[in-house]
């Protein structure tokens, strides 16, 4: 029974994906998130890169002494943005990587595609933060910020994750790796 179940590539993929997700969830919830250093490192990088790009575009950032939290970035004259743990991208990184790990494909390809996907997802998140900072600057209506945070940028980011998954499904495996096995009589 288990051998027959495991020989079906769809069940094998789903089993691997669930197992990878559970391992990540337990690891994150039990050790990484309570420690806070991993989340904070990603947030600090988001602040640094987003701030650098905003300054390149000619914007003056809120002075650090005016910011009540190290998780805040903003353009001078605004209240800024607070970057919480759920917005740092770690969950998306793990979902993306888990899909690629669970999906059939060459380990050599996985070794370059996973870092590529995580780096580009991080850069998309940087652009999201820049877009939200510009929204606060040019359109200070809190409802517009909330709408763009909740819907517009969420759709863009998740759309990119689905694009990466689609791309992996096309380049990551051989054409026969997902065909169901046929039992011989």
User: Across residues 132-149, what is the average pLDDT?
Assistant: 95
Q: Is residue 125 part of a domain?
A: yes
Residues 81-112 have pLDDT tens digits of 999 999 999 999 999 999 999 999 999 999 99
pLDDT reported for residue 51: 95
Tens of pLDDT, residue by residue over 143-184, are 999 999 999 999 999 999 999 999 999 998 655 444 554 444
CA 42 → CA 29, 79, 94, 154, distances in Å? 16, 22, 14, 18
Domain membership flag for residue 118: yes
- Give me the helices (H) in 30-175, please: 33-35, 37-56, 90-102, 107-138, 142-147, 153-171
Is 112 contained in some domain? yes
**What is residue 78's predicted lDDT score, i.e. its pLDDT?**
94
Look at residue 184 and tell me if it is in a domain: no
* pLDDT category of residue 8 using cuts at 50, 70 and 90: confident
Residue 106 within any structural domain of the chain: yes
Q: Are 71 and 43 in contact (CB under 8 A)?
A: yes
- 151 falls within a domain: yes
- pLDDT band of residue 185 (cuts 50, 70, 90) is very low
Token representation of residue 54: 């905003």
**Domain range for 113:** 7-171
Total structural domains within the chain:
1
pLDDT at position 70: 74
Query: 3 or 164: which carries more pLDDT confidence?
Result: 164
What percentage of the chain reaches a pLDDT higher than 90?
69
Model pTM score:
0.85
Which SS3 state, helix, strand or coil, does residue 73 take? strand
Structural domain contains residue 166: yes
Cα–Cα distance between 84 and 71 in angstroms, integer? 7
For 165: left if phi > 0, alpha if psi spans -120 to 50, otherwise beta; the answer is alpha
pLDDT tens for each residue of 27-50: 999 988 888 888 999 999 999 999
- Residue 179, in any domain of the structure: no
């Amino acid at each position: 029974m288990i051998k027959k179940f495991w020989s079906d590539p769809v069940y094998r993929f789903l089993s691997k994906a669930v197992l990878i997700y559970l391992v990540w969830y337990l690891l994150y919830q039990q050790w990484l998130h309570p420690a806070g250093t991993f989340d904070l490192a990603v947030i600090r990088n988001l602040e640094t890169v987003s701030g650098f790009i905003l300054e390149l575009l000619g914007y003056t950032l809120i002075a650090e002494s005016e910011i009540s939290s190290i998780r805040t970035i903003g353009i001078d004259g605004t209240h800024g943005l607070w970057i919480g743990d759920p917005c740092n991208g770690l969950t998306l990184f793990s979902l993306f990587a888990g899909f690629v790990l669970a999906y059939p494909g060459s380990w050599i390809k996985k070794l370059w595609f996973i870092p590529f996907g995580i780096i580009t997802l991080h850069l998309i998140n940087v652009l999201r933060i820049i877009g939200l900072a510009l929204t606060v600057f040019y359109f200070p209506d809190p409802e517009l910020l909330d709408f763009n945070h909740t819907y517009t940028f969420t759709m863009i980011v998740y759309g990119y994750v689905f694009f990466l998954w689609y791309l992996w499904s096309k380049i990551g495996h051989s054409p026969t790796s997902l065909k169901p096995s046929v039992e011989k009589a």
